[in-house]
Amino acid sequence: MNALTAAWDWLADPAHWSGDEGIWHRLFQHLVMTVVCLVVSCLIALPVALVLGHLGRGGALAVNISNVGRAVPTFAVLVLLLLTPIGKWGEGPTVVALVLFAVPPLLTNAYVGMREVNRSIVQAARGMGMTGRQMLFHVELPLSLPMVLNGVRLAAVQLVATATIAALAGGGGLGRIITAGFNLASTPQVVAGAVLVAVFALIVEGIFEVVERLAPHLVRGAR
Partner 1 sequence: MTAPPDDCLARNEWICGEYLSTRRQIILDAVVQHFQLTAVSVLIGLLIALPLAVLARRWGLAAGPVLAVTTILYTIPSLAMFSLLLPVYGLSAALVVAGLVLYSLTVLVRNILAGLRAVPEETRQAARGMGYGPIRLLLTVELPLAVPAAMAGLRIATVSAVALLTVGAIVGFGGLGNLIYAGMNTYFKAQVLTASVLCVVIAVLADLLLLGVQRLITPWTRAARG
With respect to partner 1, which residue has the nearer C-beta, 41 or 189? 189
Site string for partner 1, 86-125 (x = CB under 8 A): ----------------------------------------
With respect to partner 1, which residue has the nearer C-beta, 139 or 163? 163
User: Of the listed pieces 37-45, 135-143, 160-168, 211-219, which binds partner 1 according to CB under 8 A?
Assistant: 160-168
Q: Residues near 8 by Cβ (< 8 Å), separated by ≥ 6? A: 192
- Using CB under 8 A, count the residues that bind partner 1: 41
User: Contact at 8 Å (CB) between 62 and 49?
Assistant: yes
In the complex, the smallest distance separating the C-beta of residue 179 from partner 1, rounded to whole angstroms, is 7
Q: Residues near 131 by Cβ (< 8 Å), separated by ≥ 6? A: none
Alpha-carbon distance 185 to 178, whole Å? Answer: 10
Site string for partner 1, 171-210 (x = CB under 8 A): ----x--xx-xx----x--xx-xxx-xx--xx--x-----
Figure out which of the listed residues 36, 72, 121, 130 binds partner 1, where binding follows CB under 8 A. 72
With respect to partner 1, which residue has the nearer C-beta, 139 or 169? 169
Q: What type of residue is 90?
A: G
Question: Taking phi first (over 0 means left), then psi (-120 to 50 degrees means alpha), and beta for anything else, what does residue 171 get?
Answer: beta
With respect to partner 1, which residue has the nearer C-beta, 51 or 86? 86
Alpha-carbon distance 139 to 121, whole Å? Answer: 8
Q: Is 23 in the site for partner 1 (CB under 8 A)?
A: no
Q: Is 152 in the site for partner 1 (CB under 8 A)?
A: no
User: Contact at 8 Å (CB) between 139 and 117?
Assistant: yes
Figure out which of the listed residues 162, 171, 172, 208 binds partner 1, where binding follows CB under 8 A. 162
In the complex, the smallest distance separating the C-beta of residue 20 from partner 1, rounded to whole angstroms, is 21
Which among 74, 76, 50 is positioned nearest to 145, based on CA atoms?
Answer: 50
Three-state SS sequence of 108-138: HHHHHHHHCCCHHHHHHHHHCCCCHHHHHHH
Figure out which of the listed residues 97, 102, 112, 165 binds partner 1, where binding follows CB under 8 A. 165
Q: What type of residue is 193?
A: G
CB atoms closer than 10 angstroms to residue 118? 10
In residues, how long is the chain? 223
Q: Is 164 in the site for partner 1 (CB under 8 A)?
A: yes
Q: Residues near 118 by Cβ (< 8 Å), separated by ≥ 6? A: 143
| Residues near partner 1, by CB under 8 A | 2-3, 67, 70-77, 79-80, 82-83, 157, 160-165, 167-169, 175, 178-179, 181-182, 187, 190-191, 193-195, 197-198, 201-202, 205
